[in-house]
Amino acid sequence: MLKLHGVAVSNYYNMIKQSLLEKGIPFQEITCPPSQQPAFLTISPMGKIPCLETDDGFISESLAIIEYLEETRPKPALMPDSPYARAKMREIMCIAELYLDSPARRHLGHVIFGEPLSKHAYDTVRPQVVRGLAALTRVEQCAPWIAGHAFSYADIVVMHVLRLVLPLMDAVYHWDPLQEVPTLAAWLARVTAREHSQTVISAQQQALTAMQANHSSPSSEDPA
């Protein structure tokens, strides 16, 4: 059976967890945080999560894992049929990871762990997110799913990216980037309402609550 390594607070972990659920693939969850320990780096070369354990070995990087899932369990399909439509779906996922998640993530330490907010990050992240979101709105279909008529990995990836980006933008700038993009806001509500989205989100919220309680407890081991 496939084993998914990572933690339920992670949006990337949740992309793969939801992909497995949507495809009906049995899997086991192995709770482990990201780490730079040599043993962990042998299974995830950047020390990041998620990482998927297969009979053939370990795979890291969510987009690589998604391709593996689709090739090994093609049904139900979570990618469109034509090469062009598949490439457009991958384009959406790349934009979400590189130009929305990556810049917004720079505020994670401040928002979640109360680290100081750097002026450079404050000044530079918002314009990057504006640009990434504008790019996303140029390629999304929202008809009704983000890459067209069929639900796909792009819906899963962008939903979990926005579920990180939107609270961070609210916390730092009191800004809702989707306010000016009602089609995307309506799509987000639609994808969030799916059964497997709700399963994954609810486990994420429980894990987040437990992590915050542990972090604020005087007896907890503070990684900082």
Ligand X SMILES: N[C@@H](CCC(=O)N[C@@H](CS)C(=O)NCC(=O)O)C(=O)O
Dihedral pair phi/psi, residue 148, rounded to 5° = 135, -145
Helix (H, G, I), strand (E, B) or coil at 106: helix
Name the DSSP class of 141: -
- Cβ 87 to ligand X, closest distance in Å? 18
Under rule CB under 6 A, residue 18 binds ligand X = no
Here the tokens at position 30 are: 């192995």
CB under 6 A: which stretch of 59-67, 124-132, 188-196, 211-219 binds ligand X?
59-67
Under rule CB under 6 A, residue 11 binds ligand X = yes
The contacts of residue 55 (CB under 8 Å, 6+ apart) are none
Nearer to ligand X, 44 or 197 (CB): 44
CB under 6 A: which stretch of 45-53, 73-81, 197-205, 206-214 binds ligand X?
45-53
Nearer to ligand X, 197 or 204 (CB): 204
Q: Are 121 and 106 in contact (CB under 8 A)?
A: yes
Q: Considering CB under 6 A, how many residues would be counted as binding ligand X?
A: 10
Name the DSSP class of 105: G
Under rule CB under 6 A, residue 109 binds ligand X = no
CB under 6 A: which stretch of 9-17, 87-95, 168-176, 206-214 binds ligand X?
9-17
Here the tokens at position 55 are: 């009979």
Helix (H, G, I), strand (E, B) or coil at 137: helix
Here the tokens at position 148 are: 């067209």
Under rule CB under 6 A, residue 47 binds ligand X = yes
For binding to ligand X (CB under 6 A), which residues are involved? 10-12, 34, 47-49, 61-63
